[in-house]
Structures are given as structure tokens and as C-alpha cells.
A and B are shown apart, each in its own frame.
Chain A
Amino acid sequence: DAGITQSPRYKITETGRQVTLMCHQTWSHSYMFWYRQDLGHGLRLIYYSAAADITDKGEVPDGYVVSRSKTENFPLTLESATRSQTSVYFCASRTGLNTEAFFGQGTRLTVV
């Protein structure tokens, strides 16, 4: 299906474990983004990528690692999950910096 998809939709992991959230888009958009949204708050930018092999930090990058070896994929890794990383994570993509962004349906991550 065309669009942007995130997997898994729900994940429970233990403190200290490594976990990777996947994001895949079929539009060949140059830009991809990861946001987190905590209860009662707006979305906060974690990392973004302007193209394959180009990534940059957003507002809240600590504790996260990203990679972009292919244009269509932008995985987000929590190297050692902490309870404070319990959140809903949204991936997004855009064609350019003055265009609208399209968001995935989110991954609800719980760290216990």
C-alpha cells in the first residue's frame, strides 16, 4: 500500500533493552522525521533526515539513534530503553522543506 507505515503499532519492553521502531514510506520523499508525543503534550521532534545517510538532531535526541541507509526507511533505535521513553512515536515524511508532512499512525511504546 502507498503511504507511510510504522511497525510495530504497540510494543512493551523492559528497561535497559534495545528496541527499534520501524518507519517505511513509499513516496520516495527526501525528508523523514521522528516525533514523540507524551500524554497531554504536543509532538516533539527527535531526529530528522534530509536524505539517505544524512541525519540531524531535533529537540529531544538524547537516548535515541537513527539511521537512513535507504530513502524509504528511517528506523529509530532506543539503545537502552528507560521508563521516560514511554511514549507514542510518530514518523513523518515530506518531499521538501516547504511542503506538508505526512504522518504514520504511530507506535505506542511502553517501557516497564
Chain B
Amino acid sequence: DAKTTQPTSMDCAEGRAANLPCNHSTISGNEYVYWYRQIHSQGPQYIIHGLKNNETNEMASLIITEDRKSSTLILPHATLRDTAVYYCIVLSPNTGNQFYFGTGTSLTVIP
């Protein structure tokens, strides 16, 4: 199953773009990359997911490299309410297509 590696923590200035990297070098061709976030012990919140192409929604953009070994979640204009732990997850048939959460990246948006 594809493991993910994320930095433990990051800071971002309010109003600037937050770029959160994720490494998933062992990802297979049919495995999706999902991003969730968890704000202060609330239930995790779905952000975005993708397979090969870059994706954008009202919350964020997901950039997946051409070789699919890494991706970046972009929050275009970070606000204080974006302070959270962000989880990058690879959904794999090898693990029953279950969401297995690592420890994520703790993003702090600074005023």
C-alpha cells in the first residue's frame, strides 16, 4: 500500500497561498490521492481528491506531479480558520480502499 510522507508542521501568513506537500512515491496507477483536514479535534473534513489531473474546487487546488509520486495541496488565500492538521491519504485497493490517516501536517496561519 502506498505510504505518504508529509512535513510535521508549516506556517503560512494570512492572505498568502499555503502549499502543503505530500510524497507518495510508491503510489500505483489506480490509487487516488485524498486530502482531509481536521480543525481543533472536530471531525475530519474532506477537501479534495484526484487521480492524475490537477483538480480545483471552492476550497483548494490539488497539483499532482506527472509521475504521481508527489502532490501539493494549495489553499490560495489562507485565513486564520484554515489553521488545522492536513492529511494526505492514498486510497488503495490493497488496503480495502479505506482511509488510513497518518499524522498529517499541522498548518498554522499567522496573522
Q: CB within 8 Å of B: which residues of A?
A: 33, 35, 37, 41-45, 48, 56, 58-59, 88, 90, 92, 97-98, 100-106
Contact = CB atoms under 8 A, between A and B. Distances in A.
Given A41-B103, A42-B103, A106-B42, A98 B98 contact: no
B44 A90 contact: yes
A45 B100 contact: yes
A106 B87 contact: no
Interface of B: 32, 34, 41-46, 49, 87, 91, 96-104
A97 B97 CA distance: 6
Given A90-B43, A90-B44, A105-B43, A98 B101 contact: no
Does more than half of chain A's interface fall in helix, strand or loop, or is it mixed? strand
Contacts of A42: 87, 101-104
Given A45-B100, A48-B98, A103 B43 contact: yes
Contacts of A88: 41
Contact of B49 (A33, A41, A100): A100
A106 B101 contact: no
A106 B39 CA distance: 12
A81 B34 CA distance: 33
Contacts of A56: 96
A64 to B, nearest CB: 16
Given A90-B43, A97-B91, A100-B34, 4 more contacts: A37-B41, A45-B98, A103-B44, A105-B42
Of B32, B45, B96, most buried by chain A (CB within 10 Å of CB) is B96
A105 B100 CA distance: 18
Given A45-B98, A106-B41, A100 B46 contact: yes
Given A42-B87, A100-B49, A58 B43 contact: no
Nearest to A43: B101
Contacts of A58: 98
